[in-house]
Structures are given as C-alpha cells and as structure tokens.
Amino acid sequence: MQTSTRDRIVLAAARLVQRQGYVGTGIKQIAKEADATLGSVYHFFPGGKEAVAVAAIRHGDAEFAAILREALDSEEDPAAAVDACARLLATALKASGWRDGCPVTATALETLGTDSEIQQACADALRGWQDLVAGRLLRAGLSRTDARELAGTVISTLEGAEVTAQVTQSEAPLLQAGRQLARLVATYH
C-alpha cells in the first residue's frame, strides 16, 4: 500500500467535499471512496465528520495555494501573472467536467452560521491565497495598501468567476475575469 489509510481518507474527503459540499457528503461515502472502513475513519478522526472536513479543507487549501503560486510565478508582468491564474483555473475546471471548482466555497457557505473549526479553515484558506497574490504584487512594485486591496479583489473575482463558469459550464467567465483583472492590475503601474 503506497498511500496511508489516513491520507486516502483526507484525499477522498477533499475531492468529495469540493464537488458536493459538506452536508452533501456522507462519512460512509468518504470511507467507501477511500477504500477504508468506518472504523478507520473514526480511528484517525475521533472528531467525526467535522474533523475530517477540516483536514479536507486544509488539504484543498494547500493544493490550491501551490497551483496559485506556480501560476503567479509563470509570468514576468504581474498583470499577465494574474491572467495566467485565471487561464489555468479555466483549463483545470474544464478538464474536470466543470466539477472541481474552488475547494472551500461550497463548504464555507453551508457552514456559515456554525462558527465551527471548518469556518476558520475556510477563512484561513482565503486569507492565505490573498497573501500569495499580495506578495506577488508587492514584488512587482505596488505599495503595500494597493497590493492588499487589489489582491482581495483578485481572489474574490477568481472565486466568483469559477462559480459562474461551473454553473454555465463555460470557461468564458474565467477568461473574461482574467482579462479584466489584468487590465485592472495594469492601471497600477
């Protein structure tokens, strides 16, 4: 067995939660998808479903951050870099059959009123991604305030465009958003 049972559970949970949300994903379904048993799930995650979800969100967070980092560093110009993010998301989303969107949005919305640890994990993810973009803009010469404000909008826009792309089953929203964000970033030079 190459991957540990725990890892397989987290991986399966991350994928399922990303596609179906937190409420729509059952513990038993996670166990089945991970080729594990219910006993194993509760052995590794005594906190139950919520603990599994937190681990899944954290995994999705890290995975998405890596993608974002790579795209941001793929271009010299910061505007082109932001556009590259959007294009990368578009191709990845299309390749997954419009299924694998943002790994936290659905879960974040479903658990809004609960002030559970899941909420915190989602907020941490968003914050982390914003910091990545802000850092990239800072390196490009923007002021600290400009970088922070712009980075927040970049992440929000990508987030929203991804949802729109999934619902309409088209990469156009993401590609549009990329172009417009590039145009916006260019105004700060």
Partner DNA sequence: GACGGACTAGAACGAACGCTCTATCCAGAA
Partner DNA sequence: TTCTGGATAGAGCGTTCGTTCTAGTCCGTC
Q: How far is the CB of 93 from its own copies (least distance, A)?
A: 11
Return the number of other C-beta atoms located less than 10 Å from residue 58's C-beta.
Answer: 18
Give which of DNA, its own copies, none residue 36 binds (C-beta under 5 to 8 Å, depending on kind).
DNA
Q: Nearer to its own copies by C-beta: 23 or 66? A: 23
Member of 13, 36, 82, 134 binding DNA (CB under 7 A): 36
Q: Nearer to its own copies by C-beta: 63 or 146? A: 146
Q: Nearer to DNA by C-beta: 1 or 145? A: 1
Please report the DSSP string for 133-165 in residue order: HHHHHHHTT--HHHHHHHHHHHHHHHHHHHHHH
Alpha-carbon distance of 105 to 108, in angstroms, equals: 5
Distance of CA 130 to the CA centre of its chain: 11
Question: Is 18 near DNA (CB under 7 A)?
Answer: no
What letter represents residue 161's amino acid? A
Question: Is 62 near DNA (CB under 7 A)?
Answer: no
Neighbouring C-alpha atoms within 13 Å toward the C-beta of 98 = 13
Please report the DSSP string for 51-112 in residue order: HHHHHHHHHHHHHHHHHHHHHHTS-SSHHHHHHHHHHHHHHHHHHTTS----TTHHHHHHTG
Question: Is 25 near DNA (CB under 7 A)?
Answer: yes
Give which of DNA, its own copies, none residue 106 binds (C-beta under 5 to 8 Å, depending on kind).
its own copies
Q: How far is the CB of 23 from its own copies (least distance, A)?
A: 4
Question: Is 144 near DNA (CB under 7 A)?
Answer: no
Question: Is 37 near DNA (CB under 7 A)?
Answer: yes
* Binding stretches for DNA (CB under 7 A): 5, 25-29, 36-40, 42-44, 48-50
